Each structure stands twice: as C-alpha cells, then as structure tokens.
Amino acid sequence: MSGNKQNIQGLVIGANGLIGNYMGRLLTHKSVLWKGTCHNRTCSDFLKLNILDDDLESIFSHFSPDVVFHCANLSGGVDFCEEHPEIAKKFHLEATQKIGSYCKEIGATLVYFSTDYIFDGTKGPYQENDVPNPLNIYGKLKLQSEYWIQEHLKKFLIVRTTNVYGWDPKTLTPNYIMNLYPCFISNFLNQ
C-alpha cells in the first residue's frame, strides 16, 4: 500500500463496454489484480465512475494502479460527437487529459484506445507512421488526445482499433455487426 491507497495492477475504465469487458477477462485470465469501472449500466463487480465529473479524483485517491486501460466511450458514438461537439471535446479530449495527468502523477502507464478515424480513409491498410487526416469531430478529438499523450506522458500505449464487433445487447452504441444482424434476420425470414 502507498499511503492509504490500494495498489492494484490494472484499472479498466469502461470495464463493461465492448473492449473493456474483454480487457477485464484477459486480465483475470492472466491473474492480474485489477478493478473495473462502469457508468450508466450498474454492475456490482465494478466501481461507478463518470469521467466527466469529479469521480476521477476519488478513484485515483483510492487506487494506485500500475496500468490504466482507458476504454470509456461516449454513448451515441461518432454521430453524437458531430451533433454535440462540446460534450465530445469534454469526453474524448479533456477527460483523457485528466486521466493522463493522474497516470503521470502516480507513475502509471496509460493504455489509450484510439481509432482509425484519425485517417481519411483514402488508402489503407494504414501503417503507424502514415499521416493522419481526420474528417470528423470524433477522429479529430481522438488524434488530439494521441498528441497530448505523446507530448505529456512517458509511459503509454496508443492502440488504434477499427470496427471492433461483438454481442452486447445492453449497449447504447450498437456496433457494426449488431446493426447488420436485424437486417440479416428480416431478409432471412422474408426469403
């Protein structure tokens, strides 16, 4: 223990989301001591956290993780960001900066899930050093977060994921395959 804080190996922010959920399972499988957070969908195993308010301070005053996996996502996804740029900025950029600052303070590594939306899609598959050119607000904010992390942190990993899919019936942001599935079923029934 450092001070009154509980040392843990991993903190998964957004542990009941699509990526966070699998991250948590992997950590458990590897016998890593970790805590997870949830937001709207309460889960008894996880701590309640809203990265848009002061909850972050409380979490980091209670736990001292070695690695923070930032897997939170704004409900409504890319379209919501276009329609609500101010909220999107608070969530995707400013909250990431706060999380990064806490990581720096306690010497934790930040694992940040970015996106291929930082590219314009005119070619691909993209390599790490390809020049980004985001076309929408979501992509621009994720790229700004990447730049902030690279400038301010020494211990970090940026993962540019693309079109992760899986089955999560309670999600507020259905992924690509979940959107396709009802079309597939109705086409099948109409045959």
In the bound state with ligand NAP, the residue whose beta carbon lies nearer, of 4 and 83, is: 83
Interaction site with ligand NAP (CB under 6 A): 14, 16-20, 38-41, 49-52, 71-73, 75, 113, 115, 161-164, 171, 173, 175
138 is catalytic: yes
Residue number, nearest CB to ligand NAP: 17
- The one catalytic residue in 22, 112, 138, 147 is 138
In the bound state with ligand NAP, the residue whose beta carbon lies nearer, of 83 and 191, is: 83
What is the Cα–Cα distance from 49 to 54, expressed in whole angstroms? Answer: 9
Nearest approach, Cβ of 81 to ligand NAP (angstroms)? 10
Nearest approach, Cβ of 17 to ligand NAP (angstroms)? 2
Nearest approach, Cβ of 181 to ligand NAP (angstroms)? 15
In the bound state with ligand NAP, the residue whose beta carbon lies nearer, of 4 and 67, is: 67
Nearest approach, Cβ of 37 to ligand NAP (angstroms)? 6
The sheet carrying 156-161 orders its strands as: 47-48, 34-38, 6-13, 63-70, 109-115, 156-161
Identify the CA nearest to 56 among candidates 22, 19, 14, 20: 14
In the bound state with ligand NAP, the residue whose beta carbon lies nearer, of 109 and 173, is: 173
Helix 137-152 vs helix 95-106: crossing angle, to nearest 10:
20
Question: Looking at the annotation, which residues are catalytic?
Answer: 138
